[in-house]
Amino acid sequence: MPPVLHLDPSQLDLSRVLVDREAIRRVNPQRFEMEQLTAIVHLDSEHHVIAGYKDVRDDEFWVRGHMPEYPLMPGVLMCEAAAQLCSYYTFSQGLCRGDFIGFGGMEDVRFRGVVRPGDRLVLIGKAMRIHRRQTIFDVQGFVGSTMVFHANIHGVPMTRKEEA
């Protein structure tokens, strides 16, 4: 049974972009093929909820090889997109120190549907725990009104170390 929605995706105005890709780049360090977030459309700092989306293109690096003739977005990339959404929230709200949020783990991951080129993967994250040493977000992903995955994502603040 799917979990209770943090936010009904049909109630989001996806045309009202609060944070575009350029503004996301000022906070998140991922670049090139690993940029998995297109825009942020909802940010509620009182309830610690954020929503955004990834427009899945025909020229994504995985399309050619991940199920040729029927390309499916790999689940790990769905989770990466959600992690980037949560990382943006954590840093933009000044909730953690460090240079970036590293993936600390995932729990209770379930895939319930497919994401294909041409789809818009809508992501909703709710912070369940925010601590200087770890964040935990409950995330949900949708294509249209269909929940395609959900998970708990753990983030850990990371600091770049200078090489000797």
Query: Which residues are designated catalytic?
Result: 66
Give whole-number Cα distances, 117 to 32, 34, 111, 143, in Å.
Answer: 18, 16, 17, 11
DSSP code string of 118-152: T-EEEEEEEEEEEETTEEEEEEEEEETTEEEEEEE
